[in-house]
Amino acid sequence: METPDSLSAKFEGSFAYFTVKDRLPQILTKVIDTVHRNKNKFLEEYGVEGIEAEKKAISFFSKLRNEMQTDKPILPLTDDQPDTHIWNRYLDYQETLLGKGEQPSWFRSPWLYVECYLYRRVQEGLLSSPPICKFDVFREAKNESFFQSQPAMLALCTDLHELKRNMESLSRDQSRKEFYRLLQVSLWGNKCDLSISGGLDNSQKSSILSSLESLQPFILVDNMESLWNILSKSRDGSTEKDSRIRVDIVLDNAGFELVTDFVLADAILSLKLVSEVHFHGKCFPWFVSDTTRHDFNWTVRQCLAANHKWMSKCGQTWKENLEKGCWVYHENMFWTLPHEYCSMADTAPDLYTELQKSDLILFKGDLNYRKLTGDRKWDFTVPFSQALTTFHPAPLCSIRTLKADVQVGLRPGIGEQLTASEPDWMISGKYGVIQFSPTV
Ligand code: F6P
Ligand code: MG
């Protein structure tokens, strides 16, 4: 079967078109506003140089917004970061995909590429505005979303404490149910990203635990059993491999979603389903709410410092897990490149080799799904393993709520049925998948 077309804003009326036309300019406007609101902070920290930098960054971002809105050609990056040449090579490659004389541009190129490029250009804008190069334009929004989700997080931490208290007496079947429950919490945690809401508040206000049953019909692909089969085998000692079982979580959003991922990682460790959890985060601020190293450590510290016994206990355990090395945080610039994951083995062989050490890789969120499947117009029934093309480093699973119009691996008729009854089913975040692919 031929690889289908990439989603792109060139298809008028598509979600990609709407994103490039409205949502991305809205995000850039918020970026400009944030930099401007922090003018006094820059003045206090750096004096007049800080003010100059604020002006320079704002003018960069305004120009960028204009380039996007008027469908100007995509420009090569001008900074000298370790990934600069990779981005510029990718731009050359995009050019070769077009007809002679055509140039990649915001509305004509693949959506995945231009959306990633926007966040890299924001980074370029800051890097070219010293001394505010390290300013995270999305941090305020991320922190705010963390604090607004506090009640839901407290409920989750209390629930985890109860689970751990009763752990010794759990039957195998009860352990499986607990695992399924926390996988679903981590799935619905993915609703809370700040990119889909254009940077506006999208936090989890109520406890998700009591809604799990009513949300179950919205899980379109449920491969939880395949995950349990991998992890429980290891617990029963029936694997041929040595007994160290490693799960990798390719993180998505900070805030509530990250806490749901921590809770899942804590539970699978405590249930002795795994011995190591490896987390993968972003090297710079990305898609508004994605987790950077700073967000990761900040979240552990905030939980530890919380004025709530079980949340603080969670923070303490998570800090110790990191110190003991049974939780490991990784960074790789590949995660902030525009490449589909099928090119990881060539573009980032070090990362591919690292992921091959895993017994199970969990890819959180919508953007990871888009990169796994190449963000293409696949038929709904194409098997997930086929849409991954050559990307099979280890058994893997996507845990994602649907916020972009790409979906594979559905039973015949389901996609068509949903399109007829709910035209926005692929972008509303109402539906989710826990979709597994074995190593092929
Ligand atoms: O704006 C496009 C997009 O990729 C959407 O598909 C999605 O809403 C969002 O950005 C990122 O979602 P997530 O945080 O789940 O990867
Ligand atoms: Mg995200």
The residue with tokens 């231009």 is 114
For residue 247, the CA-to-ligand 2 centroid distance in Å is 20
Domain count for the chain: 2
**Probe target for ligand 1 pocket from 15, 113, 196, 250, with the most ligand atoms within 8 Å of CB:** 196
Nearest to 413 by CA among 375, 378, 380, 370: 380
Residues 91 and 179 in one domain: no
405 in Cβ contact with 424 (< 8 Å): no
434, two tokens? 């826990």
pTM strictly above 0.75:
yes
Residue 83 lies in domain = 15-127
Largest CA distance in the chain: 69
**Probe target for ligand 1 pocket from 367, 370, 375, 401, with the most ligand atoms within 8 Å of CB:** 367
Residues 105 and 210 in one domain: no
Give the closest ligand to the alpha carbon of residue 196: 1
Nearest CA to ligand 1 atom 6: 404
Give the closest ligand to the alpha carbon of residue 428: 1
Does residue 277 form part of some domain?
yes
Residues 101 and 213 in one domain: no
Last residue of a domain, one of 82, 101, 127: 127
Does residue 229 form part of some domain?
yes
| Cβ neighbours around 183 below 10 Å, total | 22
For residue 47, the CA-to-ligand 2 centroid distance in Å is 34
Residues 166 and 309 in one domain: yes
Reading the chain (440 residues) residue by residue, the pLDDT tens digits are: 689 999 999 999 999 999 999 999 999 999 999 999 999 999 999 999 999 999 999 999 999 999 999 999 999 999 999 999 999 999 999 999 987 889 999 999 999 999 999 999 999 999 999 999 999 999 999 999 999 999 999 999 999 999 999 999 999 999 999 999 999 999 999 986 555 555 555 556 667 888 899 999 999 999 999 999 999 986 665 555 557 899 999 999 999 999 999 999 999 999 999 999 999 999 999 999 999 999 999 999 999 999 999 999 999 999 999 999 999 999 999 999 999 999 999 999 999 999 999 999 999 999 999 999 999 999 999 999 999 999 999 999 999 999 999 999 999 999 999 999 999 999 999 999 999 999 87
Residues 236 and 313 in one domain: yes
Give the closest ligand to the alpha carbon of residue 115: 1
Backbone torsions φ then ψ of 272, nearest 5 degrees: 60, 30
78, two tokens? 């001008």
124, two tokens? 């370029």
Nearest to 189 by CA among 215, 169, 168: 215
Listed in sequence order, the residues at least 6 apart from 5 whose beta carbon sits closer than 8 Å to its beta carbon are 376, 377
Residues 258 and 388 in one domain: yes
**Probe target for ligand 1 pocket from 115, 249, 403, with the most ligand atoms within 8 Å of CB:** 403
352, two tokens? 């591919």
Does residue 135 form part of some domain?
no
Residues 118 and 244 in one domain: no
322, two tokens? 């990191």
Does residue 176 form part of some domain?
yes
Residues 347 and 390 in one domain: yes
For residue 368, the CA-to-ligand 2 centroid distance in Å is 8
Does residue 412 form part of some domain?
yes
Last residue of a domain, one of 76, 96, 127: 127
Nearest CA to ligand 1 atom 8: 196
For residue 332, the CA-to-ligand 1 centroid distance in Å is 20
Nearest to 369 by CA among 344, 400, 339: 400
What's the alpha-carbon Rg for the chain, to the nearest Å?
A: 22
34, two tokens? 């944030």
Residues 120 and 239 in one domain: no
HEC secondary structure over the chain: CCCCCECECCCCCCHHHHHHHHHHHHHHHHHHHHHHHCHHHHHHHHCHHHHHHHHHHHHHHHHHHHHHHCCCECCCCCCCCCCHHHHHHHHHHHHHHCCCCCCCECCCCEHHHHHHHHHHHHHHHHHCCCCCCCCCCCHHHHHHHHHHCHHHHHHHHHHHHHHHHCHHHCCHHHHHHHHHHHHHHHHHHCCCCCCCCCCCCCCCCCCCHHHHHHHHHHEEEECHHHHHHHHHHHHCCCCCCCCCCEEEEECCECCHHHHHHHHHHHHHHHCCCCCEEEEEEECCCCCCCECEHHHHHHHHHHHHHCCCHHHHHHHHHHHHHHHHCCEEEEECHHHHCCCCHHHHHHHCHHHHHHHHCCCEEEEECHHHHHHHHCCECCCCCCCHHHHCCCCCCCCEEEEEECCCCCCCCCCCCHHHHHHHHCCCCCCCCCCEEEEEECCC
Residues 107 and 154 in one domain: no
Does residue 386 form part of some domain?
yes
As for ligand 1, residues whose beta carbon falls within 6 Å of it are: 19, 115, 190, 193, 195-196, 252-253, 287, 365-367, 370, 403-404
For residue 100, the CA-to-ligand 1 centroid distance in Å is 32
* Predicted pLDDT of residue 197: 53
Last residue of a domain, one of 97, 127, 157: 127
Q: Domain of 80: which CATH number?
A: 1.20.930.60
- Which atom of ligand 1 is least distant from the CA of 369? 16
| Cβ neighbours around 423 below 10 Å, total | 10
Does residue 31 form part of some domain?
yes
For residue 302, the CA-to-ligand 1 centroid distance in Å is 25
Provide the pairing of β-strand 327-331 with 276-281: parallel
Residues 212 and 106 in one domain: no
- CA–CA distance from 90 to each of 60, 85, 343 (Å)? 22, 8, 12
Does residue 2 form part of some domain?
no
* Predicted pLDDT of residue 440: 72
Residues 102 and 211 in one domain: no
For residue 143, the CA-to-ligand 2 centroid distance in Å is 14
